Chain A
Amino acid sequence: MIRHSVMVGWADGPLKRYVDDARLQFTVLMHRSGQVLAQHGFQSRMDVQTACALSAAINATADSLGTMIDGAPFRGLHYAGAARQMHLAQLHVGDGVLLLLSVFDRESSLGIVQLYLDELHAALAASAPADEDAPPALAEDFERDLNTNLAALFGKR
């Protein structure tokens, strides 16, 4: 069982502020399972779904690889491309762990992203719904929850 709630909406405000402050191009907040919670900048549900699936896979790989090589999971990932950079962070919110993928260009920097990530973390911790107020994310409901959340974010396209 994934303990954290799968409700969308509660993270929209903090994420919008984070995007504005850190000058991001794209960002998506998700469960470790790849279940989307909030996003900014992506134009289609398929892009969000793909970004979430790949981010969850990267996180799982880094966890396992870190444990194998260094005795502890690797945390955080930064990749600098020619024009864009990506940062994948783990955020401990309530009793769950969320993943945040941030994509930025020369308008921002890794230092700026890390700076505002701390503020986002605090804002998410303050606005996260209590477990009793929200349905838990269950593995057997993954696809249904994913479609519900994507429909909430993009409408039924």
Chain B
Amino acid sequence: MSQFAPLIAAVTRHRGVQACLVVADEDGILVDGTAHVGVSTSAFAALTASLYRKAARAAESAGFGAVTYFELEAERGRVMAAGRNGLVIVAVAEPRVNVGLLRVELVRAAEGL
């Protein structure tokens, strides 16, 4: 069990969460995580880390400082991510998930990264 297991468990406990991954934001490599069958974790990790990096650069260019949280809403689900210390914790969730609660959980989990 990795040091991130309690953080991942806290996020996946929420109803509607399909995957929770800890990813290195610079290289997009999966560090730890858990996912339902059907979620391609390594591909997802690489692409989400890339999104997070670009969001961070956009925020920096706009003079907004560091990105603490970002959310992507799609037709059949949501991707939510929070990062710190070169790591990003990402949750993949169904549309019915309680967004507010999950956001609080992710931001809290990111403090433990």
Contacts and interface: CB of A to CB of B under 8 A. Distances in A.
Contacts of A109: 26-28, 46, 49-50, 53
B38 to A, nearest CB: 17
Interface string A19-47: 00000000000000000000000000000
Interface string A99-138: 0000000101111101100000000000000000000000
B13 to A, nearest CB: 27
Interface in B12-36: 23, 26-30
Interface of A: 80, 106, 108-112, 114-115
Contacts of A112: 28, 46-47, 50
Interface of B is mostly: helix
Contacts of A80: 27
Contact of B42 (A106, A108, A114): A114
Q: Counting chain B CB atoms within 10 Å of each CB, which of A109, A111, A114 scores highest?
A: A111
Contacts of B82: none
A109 B30 CA distance: 12
15 contacts: A108-B50, A109-B27, A109-B46, A109-B50, A109-B53, A110-B27, A110-B28, A111-B23, A111-B29, A111-B30, A111-B45, A111-B49, A112-B46, A114-B42, A114-B46
B66 interface: no
B56 to A, nearest CB: 11
Nearest to B46: A111
A14 B50 CA distance: 22
B59 interface: no
Interface string B31-74: 00000000000110111011001000000000000000000000
A111 B49 CA distance: 9
B15 to A, nearest CB: 29
- Please give me the 5 A-B residue pairs with the lowest Cβ-Cβ distance, nearest first: A111-B28, A111-B46, A109-B28, A110-B27, A115-B46
Given A109-B50, A111-B27, A111-B30, 10 more contacts: A106-B53, A108-B50, A109-B26, A109-B28, A109-B49, A111-B29, A111-B50, A112-B28, A112-B47, A115-B47
Nearest to A111: B28
